[in-house]
Amino acid sequence: MKKVVVTGATSMIGVALIRECLKNGCSVLALVREGTRRMTRLPVSDLLRVETVSLSALNSVKGDGGPYDTFYHLAWDYTIRSERDVPRLCQRNIPWSLDAVDLAKRLGCSRFIGAGSQAEYGPVSGIISEETKPEPVIAYGMAKLAACMLTRRQCEQYGMHHIWARAFSVYGVNDNSGTMINDTLDRLDRGETVHFTSGTQIWNYLHESDAGRLYYLLGALPVEDGLYCIAHPESIPLKEYIETLCEEYGGARCTFDPSDCGHAGLEVDMGKTLKATGFVPQVTFREGIREILKARAEARS
């Protein structure tokens, strides 16, 4: 894999993926939205070419005139909390995903890798794997599942390889606001005591750089077409993550309600992905939280 295309290039996973590609000598065509305030996230490299384009105008992408190998489609609109369950908004991403397959074909790509989501499964009691039946309950997950199925069919018709990589709880410096980690840190910054449920449900956090490397490996290695989970190999009780976060914050106060334990967990079977890629995570949760705290401190200074 020498040349790749990445939509959603300034997203948390997009930036991590691009860094991994550049580290391995891949030329990258990064597609970003016009007017984005996240351009400074992108690394500086002679191997990186940037084009600004909206999701609704992917047919205008020029490239460099030569063929590319792999197309990573990470871009997705209407992802903030107030929009994630609005069907008429979320469904707009489906034809745009098909446009991305068209663009991949025009640019000469032989492999299309789409960014799926844990939301495609809906709440699951027990271990989640690629074999788990998807039963999404919000429009975001429904649209992702539809995009998975339709881009797969379109790739089959074009003779392109199709991989759908479903990301679970990825976190890091470039994460969006409002997530459990960032919301907790915001409250701690305000001097609040943060209250949680029992935290006994099994959960899974994967650092952004490890997620980027997993996406890279799915494009660089001769893996079979199909579904792949993007998560940490080890799932642990959510309470352990929270306690680590509080310890790294400096012994911040968090409370847990042992009577509130009826929440679905997020336990992931990574067997298929690990076998296909040989992936071993490089960043522990504690190291990831330290990195976030450092970045937040620098932003305040």
Q: Return the top range by mean pLDDT from 188-192, 260-264, 290-294.
A: 290-294
Q: What are phi and psi of 168, to 5 degrees?
A: -100, -135
Question: In terms of C-beta distances under 8 Å and separation of at least 24 residues, what long-range contacts does 185-189 make, across chains too?
Answer: 185/245, 185/249, 185/292, 185/293, 185/296, 188/246, 188/249, 188/252, 189/296
Query: The whole model's pTM is what?
Result: 0.95
Supply the pLDDT for residue 262: 66
Per-residue pLDDT band for 34 (boundaries 50, 70, 90) equals confident
Q: Give the list of residues 6+ apart from residue 40 with CB closer than 8 angstroms, or none.
A: none
Q: How many whole angstroms separate alpha carbon 267 and alpha carbon 238?
A: 10
Supply the pLDDT for residue 259: 85
By three-state DSSP, how is residue 71 classified?
A: strand
For the stretch 210-266, pLDDT in tens is: 999 999 999 999 999 999 999 999 999 999 999 999 999 997 789 999 888 767 789
Contact predicate 13/73, CB 8 Å: no
Supply the pLDDT for residue 177: 84
Q: Is the pLDDT confidence value at 4 over 90?
A: yes
Per-residue pLDDT band for 301 (boundaries 50, 70, 90) equals confident
Of 51, 10, 62, 3, which is closest to residue 28 (Cα–Cα)?
3
Supply the pLDDT for residue 242: 95
Per-residue CA distances from 239 to 92, 122, 236, 261, 291 (Å): 37, 22, 8, 11, 20
Domains of the chain plus CATH, in order, are: 3-170+205-230 (3.40.50.720), 176-204+234-268+283-300 (3.90.25.10)
Percent of the residues in the chain that have a pLDDT greater than 70, as a whole number: 100
